Every structure is written in structure tokens, then in C-alpha cells.
Amino acid sequence: MTDRVRAHVFVSGRVQGVYYRATTRDTARETGVDGWVRNLDDGRVEAVFEGPEGDVRDMVEWCETGSRAAEVDDVDAEYGEPEGEDGFEVRW
């Protein structure tokens, strides 16, 4: 059995209005990672990824580039215990 982890991620840069959330959702679903993604009022994107450690770390690394139109300045991730996310969704 693979150990599951949780990453709580904040992405800053030009990451809103560039399909960042939709692309994150699609990539997470393809990877088999659970969680969610949403825009924050301060212009950042917040995401939670849960799943096997390697897959979660791959998603955090993916956030450093994101969608093709995004310009990512920084990715801040905190790792912890999973909280039971099921599926992956865009939150509003």
C-alpha cells in the first residue's frame, strides 16, 4: 500500500483568468489525485492535493508551470496528513 499525503498549495503570479484552475483539475484527475482548486481574492490560486506521495509531489511540481498562459512566480506547499478528499473539483 502506498502512503497517502496531502499538499496545501498557494500559487502566485499571473494565475487567474488563464485556465489555471481548469487545467489543474484536468491534470489532477489524469494523475489520480484527489482535492480541489480555487481562486483567492488576492490573485493567488489555492489548491489541495491528496494521494500517493509521488503523485502529489508531481502535482506540486506541475503547479510551477501550470496552464500554458500562466506566469507562475512562486509555489508554496505544506505537506501533511490526508483529510479524505474524494475526487477533484474547482471550488468557487
Catalytically active residues, by annotation: 21, 39
CA distance 64 to 77: 11
- Contact between residue 4 and residue 50 where contact means Cβ atoms under 8 Å apart: yes
CA distance 78 to 13: 18
